[in-house]
Amino acid sequence: MAPANTLRRLLLVVTALLLAAPLLRPAMSSALVTRGDALLFARDARARAKYALALRFDPGNTVAADRYVFSAFLSRKPSQLEDAVGVAGAVLRKRPNEAILRMDRALCLQLLRRYALAARDFELVGRERHDVQALALAAADQRLGGNAAKGRQLLLIAATIDPHYMPVRVALERDRR
């Protein structure tokens, strides 16, 4: 084969790859999340690296971000928790309505004992989604952060959404004593 034909074919392949790359990035990111899930299920620490790589391919992949943050939560390692809070924050700045990611960030913040920040995330989800559990968690974090009055207010809001949710009922009863 003549060198000119080989060069043309090489240029054609390179051009095709460059044109297809933007289309392949989300698919590659999703495939990495799937692989990360398999590793996470097997309790393999390499899962977190797969989620990180998925985020490098597609920084807007909220599923990858959520899994990354949740795997840090499961690790309970302060450095991973700190990193996860930062990753979640970056994604939430672009997509503020991602409730699951916000909840997972709040769980990481709880482990870091940043109760006021965790309460803010839980409260936001609870109010937006009428999520009694999120409001109860926000109330607990407000109490841990020293703001019992705000905690009681959140419990009362939660009780109006679901008066039968036992953790809220118990917490309100404890407050009455």
What's the pLDDT score for residue 155? 96
Phi, psi of 128, rounded to the nearest 5 degrees: -65, -40
**pLDDT 10s digits, 40-78:** 888 888 999 999 999 998 888 999 999 999 999 999 999
Homologous superfamily of 27-112 in CATH?
Tetratricopeptide repeat domain (1.25.40.10)
Query: Rounded distance, CA 11 to CA 5, Å?
Result: 10
Within 8 A by CB and 6+ apart from 40, the residues are: 47, 67, 71, 74
**pLDDT 10s digits, 4-44:** 788 888 777 777 666 666 666 787 788 888 888 888 888 88
Give the DSSP H/E element, type plus range, for residue 164: none
| Domain boundaries, given as residue ranges, for the chain | 27-112, 115-177
DSSP string, 51-78: HHHHHHH-TT-HHHHHHHHHHHHHHT-H
Do residues 125 and 107 touch, judged by C-beta distance below 8 A? no
Q: What is the largest CA-CA distance in the chain?
A: 91
Phi, psi of 61, rounded to the nearest 5 degrees: -75, 100
What's the pLDDT score for residue 1? 55
Q: Which residue has the tokens 């994604």?
A: 91
Average pLDDT for 109-135: 97
Q: Which residue has the tokens 């207010």?
A: 153
Rounded to a whole number of angstroms, the distance between the first and last alpha carbons of the chain is: 90
CA 150 to the chain's CA centroid:
25
Q: Which residue has the higher pLDDT, 1 or 2?
A: 2
Average pLDDT for 71-89: 96
